[in-house]
Structure 1
Amino acid sequence: MSTFLFDKTVFGPVMSRRLGVSLGINLLPNNRKICSFDCIYCECGLNGELGDKESPMPTKEQVKQALEQKLKDMLSENLKPDVITFAGNGEPTLHPEFSAVIDDTIALRNHYCPDARIAVLSNASRLHKPGIFEALLKVDDNIQKLDSGLKETILRLDQPNYPFDLEKTIAQLQSFNGKVIIQTMFVAGKINNKQIDNTTEEDIASWLNALQQIKPSKVMIYTIERDTPYSGLKKVSISLLKQIADRAEQLGFEISVSG
């Protein structure tokens, strides 16, 4: 199916299902995806599919200049973002100056739109880096991915390109002491004659157990909305998402559902 890349360092604002009026920041190249995961549902396609493999990431100064100009332009039109969101063409924490970029963004937010939140959408693959962990503690919405409580499901669904350790990932998420939002993508379907489904009872039970260990401030559950690299993936019904949400709410978690 057709996928796309973000062709600007600062893009939008767009209306996010989960975050409101979101001004996006892409710390990856504008014409290729770079990620430590290769999720089968990623709207940006698979790693290495598109773009010039030599194209660079934007520098810290380029990000700062682009964001400041965009905020000035928005204010001149009497517009303000609800949130400044680090997302884009892959995993934002792979940027070598991620921590410094966060500091710049906080300063610009405080100056131009102090009511806006700063969010990072991450796959939790770089939490072992102290500088990244500390930078994530500074943002308002530290949103980390956990698509299952089963390692085998995560390997099929998210396809990490490093030795993935689920127990270590859960322990690192737990180290935020609640200053973390967990986001989970629920999908089902068949790829290469193999069934993909993280809504099974085993998956949900193990996922709920992981949440009880992590104790996040909030949980966001959703399903695919845009095209994915594989045509065999299907949306999970809103009724099933609500059933999953009900189980998490019964354990005391705040849940948002996007169908």
Structure 2
Amino acid sequence: MTSLYHDIIFGPVHSRRLGLSLGVNLLPTESKLCSFDCIYCECGWNADHPGARRFNARDDVRRLLGETLRRMVDAGTPPDVITFAGNGEPTMHPRFEEVIDDTLALRDGLCPGAKVSVLSNATQLHREEVCRALSRVDNNILKLDSAFDATVRRMNNPQSPAYSVRDTVERMKRFGGRMILQTMFLRGECGGAPIDNTTEEEVAAWLALADEIRPRQVMVYSLDRDTPCQTLEKVPREELLAIASRVEALGIPCSVA
């Protein structure tokens, strides 16, 4: 069953990819707000969680994050990572850059060993302040699930008709490799239409874009939690490892989760 995050600060949870992760949700706590509407989103469909387009206030995020970090440090269990995720796309927050400023200051003062990560769908890279903020975090993790616009539209349902893979790739390249590329592989059907980004055509085209972007790392993964579309299939780990080996053949480290 899909579900929302009902707190601004959530966890910590043991992340498959990041370690002991303390989550930060900049989106509404009782509704979903995202520039994608992914068929595999653990928060469910956008339409299933309507509500006020109310981002969490910068001051509340700073206060609650500080309180939680102090409590964790005092208990001797500081997080490995502070991760921006939650009920939608974190970089949509109108004061995202200032929130990152606050977070880095808190991290440096309270638990300097922790990394700051942002899980983003890369739809806000046209905003210079978002790019500046992402360039300063430890793990700038940007999604690209396919090299083909048609597949992205089926898998991710971008809410802007102007979305294009080529524009996204060009904006990713501006980070000069200071980013992590993250891709969900799955297959099955949704709404009666087949979906599969593991075909040779899909993987070869995606590899070409990864080689063009040259991120410092690639993360590939498949389904692990409930999805709003119930007719999707998890890709076996062996297949993910085979894709990862092709990424590593390009000279780019690749992890499988």
TM-score, normalised to structure 1's length? Answer: 0.97
Superposed displacement of residue 108, structure 1: 0.1
Counterpart position of 2:192: 193
What residue is the counterpart of 1:75 in the other structure? 73
* Matches of 1:74 and 1:115, distance apart in 2: 13
C-alpha distance in 2, partners of 1:37/1:151?
13
* Offset of residue 102 of structure 1: 0.1
Do residues 249 (structure 1) and 238 (structure 2) align? Answer: no
What does 1:167-246 align with in structure 2 at a 5 Å threshold? Answer: 167-246=166-245
Amino acid in the other structure paired with 2:36: F
Aligned AA (1:13): P
Alignment of 1:1-259 (within 5 A): 2-50=1-49, 53-54=51-52, 56-162=54-160, 163-258=162-257
CA distance in 2, matches of 1:46, 1:231: 12
CA distance in 2, matches of 1:152, 1:17: 29
Task: Tell me if structure 2 keeps the 8 A contact 1:31–1:55.
Answer: no
- Aligned amino acid, residue 20 of structure 1: G
8 Å CA contact 1:27, 1:95 repeated in 2: yes
Determine the C-alpha separation between the residues in 2 that align with 1:244 and 1:153: 18
- Contact map agreement 2:28 2:52 (CA 8 A) in 1: no
The separation in 2 between residues aligned to 1:195 and 1:123, in whole angstroms, is 23
* Secondary structure of 1:81 counterpart: coil
Corresponding residue SS for 2:228: coil
Could you tell me which runs of 5 or more consecutive residues in structure 2 were left unpaired when the two chains were aligned: none
The structural deviation recorded for 1:19 is 0.3
Q: Is the 8 A contact 1:32 1:48 kept in 2?
A: no
Amino acid paired to 1:185:
M
Alpha-carbon distance in structure 2 between the residues aligned to 1:244 and 1:225: 18
Distance 1:26 1:193 in 2: 33
Native 8 Å contact 1:38 1:47 kept in 2 = yes
Q: Which runs of 5+ in 1 are unaligned?
A: none
Q: Percent sequence identity over matched residues?
A: 48
Contact map agreement 2:61 2:99 (CA 8 A) in 1:
yes
Query: How many angstroms apart in 1 are the aligned matches of 2:101 and 2:210?
Result: 29
- How far 1:48 sits from its partner (Å)? 2.5
4+ aligned runs moved over 3 Å, structure 1: none
Give the letter for the 2:252 counterpart: F
Letter in 1 for 2:123: S
1: CA distance, partners of 2:47 / 2:147: 28
Structure 2 CA distance for aligned equivalents of residues 193 and 167 of structure 1: 27
Shift of 1:55: 6.2
CA contact (8 A) 2:13 2:20 kept: yes
Per-residue deviation at 1:56? 2.2
2:172 partner letter: L
SS in 1 for 2:27: coil
Q: Which amino acid aligns with 2:213?
A: I
Find the aligned partners of 1:81 and 1:194 in 2 and give their Cα distance: 41
Secondary structure at the residue paired with 2:209?
A: helix
Q: Secondary structure of 1:244's match?
A: helix
Structure 1 stretch displaced more, 26-35 or 191-200: 191-200
Deviation of the 1:76 alpha carbon? 2.0
Amino acid at match of 2:214: K
